[in-house]
């Protein structure tokens, strides 16, 4: 380096040091990945909350629909199950929904002796403890218990090959008119469990 080039280099260095062009692009490049992750996270949480809300609403609607009837058949439950496509819109339910409907009766002491009258399910059984229904009815009455398992996958979890979220919800309802709802012609099917 010659003595004449030193002032020129200092002059260029000062000019480059004061030049702010491109700074916004560099800051954006540093912040963009974090912002994209935050936006995708908010989008994912919104979709999950919507799926959870629809599953909760649907399980309560099914319990209410069954509790309004005096006589039910397995085909009636199948129609309610098939209606989930419309009742849970915009959430997709095809082949990812398990629905489990039971009638629980009471004998002797309603706080201690609940027993299964009948149970029908589509997909896979949604397990529960029958003692959770203790005290919800009286001797000679029943309560309808509906369990739902919804296997939710969002576009983002599918994109990143993430696991499905299993949303499990329960609802109990007391029959309105007739305290024992018959299933396929029997009010007490000795706890028979079958698919619909």
Q: What is the CA radius of gyration of the chain?
A: 30
Nearest Cα residue to 127 out of 95, 151, 102: 102
pLDDT tens-digit readout, 101-128:
999 999 887 677 899 999 999 999 999 9
Q: Which two tokens stand for residue 62?
A: 């099914």
CA quadruple 88, 168, 134, 181: dihedral positive or negative?
A: positive
Give φ, ψ of 63 to 5 degrees. -60, -40
- Please tell me the predicted confidence (pLDDT) of residue 66: 95
pLDDT at 162: 78
Q: What is the mean pLDDT of residues 134-144?
A: 90
Q: What is the C-alpha separation between 148 and 98, in angstroms, rounded?
A: 6
Going by the DSSP 8-state scheme, the letter that residue 174 receives in this structure is -
The model's confidence at residue 1, banded by pLDDT at 50, 70 and 90, is: low
Domain boundaries, the chain: 5-195
Residue 98 has pLDDT above 90, yes or no: yes
pLDDT over threshold 70, residue 3: no
- Residue 189 to residues 47, 80, 102, Cα–Cα distance (Å): 40, 21, 11
Helical ranges in 98-190 per DSSP H: 155-159
For tokens 């000679």, the residue is 140
- Average model confidence (pLDDT) for the chain? 87
Split at pLDDT 50, 70, 90, the class of 73 is: very high
Residue 69 has pLDDT above 90, yes or no: yes
Checking if the pLDDT of 16 tops 70, the result is no
Q: Which of 84, 113, 112 is nearest to 96 (CA)?
A: 84
With bands split at pLDDT 50, 70 and 90, how would you rate the model's confidence at 53? very high
For residue 153, the model assigns a pLDDT of 85
pLDDT digits (tens, 9 = 90+) for 141-155: 899 999 999 998 887
**Minimal CA–CA distance to 58: which of 192, 180, 186, 167?**
167
Report pTM.
0.78
> Which segments of the chain are extended strands (E)?
71-72, 97-106, 114-122, 142-152, 165-173, 182-183, 192-195
The region of weakest confidence among 27-31, 56-60, 68-72, 108-112 is: 108-112
Residue corresponding to tokens 């002796």? 113
Q: Residue 190: left if φ>0, alpha if ψ -120 to 50, beta else—which one?
A: left
- For 165-188, write each residue's pLDDT tens digit: 899 999 999 998 888 888 988 888
């Amino acid at each position: 380096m010659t003595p004449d080039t030193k002032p020129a280099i200092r002059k260029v260095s000062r000019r480059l040091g004061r030049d702010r062009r491109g700074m916004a692009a560099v800051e954006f490049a540093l912040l963009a990945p974090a912002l994209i992750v935050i936006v995708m996270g908010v989008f994912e949480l919104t979709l999950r909350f919507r799926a959870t809300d629809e599953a909760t609403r649907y399980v309560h609607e099914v319990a209410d629909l069954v509790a309004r009837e005096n006589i039910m058949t397995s085909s009636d439950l199948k129609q309610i199950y098939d209606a989930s496509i419309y009742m849970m819109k915009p959430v997709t339910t095809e082949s990812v929904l398990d629905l489990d409907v039971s009638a629980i009766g009471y004998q002797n002491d309603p706080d201690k002796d609940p027993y299964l009258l009948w149970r029908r399910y589509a997909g896979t059984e949604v397990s529960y403890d029958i003692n959770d229904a203790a005290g919800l009815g009286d001797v000679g009455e029943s309560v309808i218990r509906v369990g739902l398992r919804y296997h939710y996958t969002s576009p983002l979890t599918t994109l990143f090959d993430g696991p499905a979220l299993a949303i499990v919800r329960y609802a109990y309802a007391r029959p309105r008119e007739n305290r024992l709802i018959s299933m396929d012609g029997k009010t007490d099917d000795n706890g028979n469990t079958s698919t619909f």
